[in-house]
Amino acid sequence: GLENHWGLGRTAEGVLRIVDEINSPWLQVTADTGNFLEDQYRQLELLAPKTFLVQTKTYYGGGKWYTLEIDYEKVAEIFQKVNYRGYISLEFEGNEDPRTAVPQSLELLRNAFS
């Protein structure tokens, strides 16, 4: 899937413009919860109907580059509204020891998305 990232993918509108122009069943969206620095929930709502993969980010111990406060219950609601049944991946970008932070992150996500 095309990930919301920098450049044209900086906004949901930019990602959808590319996906809609290509108009292929082989191209959908990878929605990265940590790459929208403004209006993150509204932008995730725009991407949700065309999302193939939800890539979540957690920042235990503070972020390596930046830290976002992400309400994963709210994120889960957004994807439940469009009946999302795909994968949810974890990208840990915090400074805490991954041996403790990754299990914490997985518990957070399981609680939010179950």
pLDDT tens-place string over residues 11-70:
999 999 999 999 999 999 999 999 998 999 999 999 999 999 999 999 999 988 888 899
- Indicate the number of domains in the chain: 1
Which one is predicted more confidently, 67 or 82? 82
Whole-model pTM? 0.92
DSSP character for 34?
A: T
Listed residue (31, 50, 56) closest to 111, CA to CA = 56
What is the domain extent for residue 83?
2-113
Cα dist. 44→31, 71, 84, 89, 97 in Å?
7, 12, 12, 15, 29
Largest Cα–Cα separation, the chain? 43
- Assign residue 40 the CATH number of its domain: 3.20.20.150
